[in-house]
């Protein structure tokens, strides 16, 4: 019993230590951001709103005051000239850069682009198929900014975000004689999208955010399911819908006839009806391709469970083994999400693998957080101790970038052969776990011929004590890369990698990752072999 108590205390201490380390890294980045004289600092607002800004995450706002403020943890993606896009998060009253990087003023006048939500990268917006929650509405409230600004106000950048969607609100105010006055309206679709139903004081209103369009006579605009028999009543003739406008329809419903009692059109900045509705930004595992490609998951002695896909922000569908799904080019991005805490494999011999079935197409880029495959609603706090992604991208030769792997609690063989054979992968996803598990990184980057950067923060004692963690993990990795950069926790961890390699006949740590390789610690201090 005493041993158990000691073990629990040690585990608690280790967890606290890891939390402090993560906090320290975040504090270091924030300190660098605050002290850099060229750092871009952001304020944000919405067109036609006040200087206090406008809440993207509450698009229907209960009051105008609600709509003048961004909410805590809202995120905007911002790009400056040729600099890589950075996500800024609202923390308190400050927009704080994420991901360990921030934008800098490199010239007096620069061109900026910004998108909200941060997952949106511009281009065509796919109309959502349905709105089931207030969060669904908020997540579809797309905004953008593009323009040049000069650094004339203390490095401050003001983003005047413009809404890209139209809002349509529908209220049934009465029925003709064919229906009883208390006839239930089961659902309403607006321009093909199932609207969100919100009830206040026994009055129902239906909300949907719609991609702007020109008037289309003769085409169905509204569709209502009425009564216990789900009778369908429709209103034809799609009106012109403009971005940033709100359209409220009051309807009287009869058999085979829907009468419009009144239409109100207003700027969306006016007071709405619904309080709440925070947009949830979930960094789903997302695939981007400039040309058309086909996605497929194959399995070996494994059954895919709890995994869904969506193409171009369309409806979510179950991933089916060996089923090809088109994406890329005009088809748009493909996103994955899941509800399976065991990941995509149960062992190195029982797993699922992603492939792109057009081997002669252009490369495919992937981003997002791998934990969204475990529990996309609670990915930041999901327990990863049993999660495995063995062979997930094995021999996925067109993969050019990888999703994030933020887990610090690992399962045995969790990432074994995960990227083996991904010859176009140049930057390995950071491996922040300080505590390892047997076989966790074995064969992980073997055959990644163009790999040039690896970041691993495992502690020295873990490197030397865990079985087969680094077995062929870098086998032939980086053979075609011009430069190599290795980032480790500290000098002791680097020595442990060298010792581990020596003990295994130099198979675990190829020469180009030891010689003519830039080796840095987690604070970017140079490490040299003594």
Residue 322 clears pLDDT 50, i.e. is over it: yes
Distance, CA of 405 to CA of 422 (rounded, Å): 16
| Main-chain phi, psi angles of 246, to 5 degrees | -115, 130
Range in 30-44, 244-258, 397-411, 475-489 the model is least confident about: 244-258
Q: What average pLDDT does range 390-416 have in this prediction?
A: 96
- Taking only the tens place, the pLDDT of each residue in 416-446 is 999 999 999 999 999 999 999 999 999 999 9
Residues 389, 393, 399, 404, Cα dihedral to 10°: 0
Distance, CA of 166 to CA of 208 (rounded, Å): 8
Residue 66 clears pLDDT 80, i.e. is over it: no
Secondary structure element (H or E) that encloses residue 188, with its range? strand 185-190
Structural tokens at position 320: 């089916």
Nearest Cα neighbor of 101 from 114, 88, 82 is 88
Residue pair 248/219 in contact by the 8 Å Cβ criterion: no
Nearest Cα neighbor of 42 from 81, 99, 82, 86 is 86
Q: What average pLDDT does range 507-516 have in this prediction?
A: 79
The pLDDT value given to residue 69: 55
Residue pair 289/327 in contact by the 8 Å Cβ criterion: yes
Q: How many helices (H) and strands (E) does the chain have?
A: 4, 28
Q: What average pLDDT does range 299-315 have in this prediction?
A: 91
Distance, CA of 316 to CA of 376 (rounded, Å): 13
Residue 297 clears pLDDT 50, i.e. is over it: yes
The pLDDT value given to residue 353: 98
Pairing mode, if any, of strands 307-311 and 293-300?
Answer: unpaired
Residues 6 or more apart whose CB falls under 8 angstroms from that of 257 comprise 176, 233
Residue pair 372/337 in contact by the 8 Å Cβ criterion: yes
- Taking only the tens place, the pLDDT of each residue in 210-259 is 999 988 877 889 999 988 788 888 888 888 898 888 888 888 887 777 76
Distance, CA of 13 to CA of 11 (rounded, Å): 5
Q: What average pLDDT does range 370-374 have in this prediction?
A: 96
Half-sphere exposure of 391 (CA within 13 A, CB side): 15
DSSP secondary structure letter of residue 69: S
Range in 156-170, 208-222, 252-266, 465-479 the model is least confident about: 252-266
Distance, CA of 1 to CA of 7 (rounded, Å): 10
Nearest-5° angle of CA 459, CA 465, CA 468? 105
At 294, is the pLDDT very low, low, confident or very high (cuts 50, 70, 90)? very high
Residue pair 58/135 in contact by the 8 Å Cβ criterion: no
The pLDDT value given to residue 457: 96
Distance, CA of 29 to CA of 11 (rounded, Å): 27
The pLDDT value given to residue 307: 97
Q: Residue 34's CB: how many other CB atoms inside 10 A? A: 12
Nearest Cα neighbor of 179 from 253, 259, 257, 261 is 253
What pTM, to 2 d.p., does this model score?
0.53
The pLDDT value given to residue 67: 47
Residue pair 370/408 in contact by the 8 Å Cβ criterion: no
The pLDDT value given to residue 193: 95
Give the mean pLDDT of the chain: 83
At 506, is the pLDDT very low, low, confident or very high (cuts 50, 70, 90)? low
Nearest Cα neighbor of 337 from 372, 371, 303 is 372
Q: Torsion-angle region of residue 16: left (phi > 0), alpha (psi -120 to 50) or beta?
A: alpha
The DSSP secondary structure of 91-126, one letter per residue, reads: ETTEEEE-TT---B--SSEEEEEEEESTT--SSPPP
At 505, is the pLDDT very low, low, confident or very high (cuts 50, 70, 90)? low
Higher pLDDT, 6 or 179: 179
| Main-chain phi, psi angles of 149, to 5 degrees | -135, 150
The pLDDT value given to residue 453: 94
Q: What average pLDDT does range 151-175 have in this prediction?
A: 86
Residues 6 or more apart whose CB falls under 8 angstroms from that of 457 comprise 430, 431, 432, 433, 434, 487, 488, 489, 493, 522
What b/e string do you get for 187-207 counting C-beta neighbours within 10 Å, with b at 16 or more? ebbbbbbbbbbbeeeeeebbb
Most confident of the following: 214-223, 340-349, 359-368: 340-349
Q: How far from chain centre, in Å, is Cα 328? A: 17
Structural tokens at position 353: 């693998």
Residues of the chain above pLDDT 90, percent:
45
At 483, is the pLDDT very low, low, confident or very high (cuts 50, 70, 90)? very high
Q: Residue 77's CB: how many other CB atoms inside 10 A? A: 21
């Amino acid at each position: 019993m005493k041993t158990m108590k000691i073990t629990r205390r040690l585990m608690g201490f280790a967890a606290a230590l890891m939390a402090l380390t993560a906090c320290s890294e975040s504090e270091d980045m924030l300190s660098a951001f605050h002290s850099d004289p060229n750092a871009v600092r952001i304020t944000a607002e919405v067109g036609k709103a006040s200087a206090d800004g406008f809440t993207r995450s509450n698009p229907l706002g209960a009051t105008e005051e609600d709509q003048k403020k961004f909410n805590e943890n809202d995120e905007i993606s911002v790009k400056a000239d040729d600099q890589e896009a950075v996500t800024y998060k609202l923390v308190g009253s400050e927009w704080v850069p994420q991901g360990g990087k921030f934008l800098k003023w490199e010239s007096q006048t620069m061109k900026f682009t910004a998108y909200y939500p941060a997952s949106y990268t511009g281009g065509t917006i796919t109309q959502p198929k349905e709105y089931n929650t207030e969060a669904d509405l908020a997540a579809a409230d797309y905004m953008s900014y593009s323009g040049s600004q000069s650094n004339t106000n203390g490095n401050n950048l003001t983003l005047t975000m413009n809404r890209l969607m139209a809002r349509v609100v529908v209220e049934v105010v009465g029925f003709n004689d064919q229906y009883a006055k208390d006839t239930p309206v089961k659902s309403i679709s607006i321009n093909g999208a199932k609207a969100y139903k919100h009830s206040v004081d026994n009055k129902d209103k239906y909300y949907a955010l719609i991609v702007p369009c020109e008037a289309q006579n003769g085409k169905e605009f509204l569709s209502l399911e009425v009564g216990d028999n789900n009778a369908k009543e429709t209103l034809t003739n799609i009106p012109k819908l403009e971005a940033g406008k709100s359209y409220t329809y009051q309807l009287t419903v009869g058999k085979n006839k829907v009468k419009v009692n009144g239409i109100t059109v207003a700027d969306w900045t006016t007071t709405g009806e619904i309080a709440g509705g925070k947009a949830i930004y979930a960094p789903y595992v997302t695939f981007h391709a400039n040309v058309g490609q086909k996605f497929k998951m194959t399995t070996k002695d494994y059954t895919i469970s709890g995994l869904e896909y969506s193409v171009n922000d369309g409806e979510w569908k179950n991933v089916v083994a060996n089923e090809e799904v088109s994406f890329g080019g005009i088809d748009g991005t493909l996103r994955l999400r899941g509800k399976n805490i065991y990941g995509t494999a149960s062992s190195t011999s029982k797993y699922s693998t992603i492939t792109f079935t057009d081997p002669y197409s252009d490369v495919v880029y992937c981003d997002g957080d791998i934990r969204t495959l475990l529990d996309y609603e609670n990915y930041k706090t999901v327990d990863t101790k049993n999660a495995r992604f063995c062979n997930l991208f094995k021999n996925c030769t067109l993969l050019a970038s990888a999703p994030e792997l933020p887990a610090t609690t690992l399962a045995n063989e969790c990432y074994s052969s995960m990227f083996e054979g991904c010859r176009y992968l140049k930057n390995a996803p950071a491996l922040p776990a300080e505590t390892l598990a047997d076989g966790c990184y074995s064969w992980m980057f073997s055959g990644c011929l163009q790999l040039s950067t690896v970041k691993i923060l495992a502690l020295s004692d873990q490197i030397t004590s865990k079985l087969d963690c680094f077995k062929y993990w870098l086998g032939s990795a980086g053979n075609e890369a011009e430069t190599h950069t290795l980032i480790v926790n500290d000098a002791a961890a680097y020595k442990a990698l060298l010792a581990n390699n020596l003990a295994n006949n130099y198979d675990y740590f190829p020469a180009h990752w030891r010689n003519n390789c830039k080796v840095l610690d987690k604070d970017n201090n140079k490490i040299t072999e003594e």
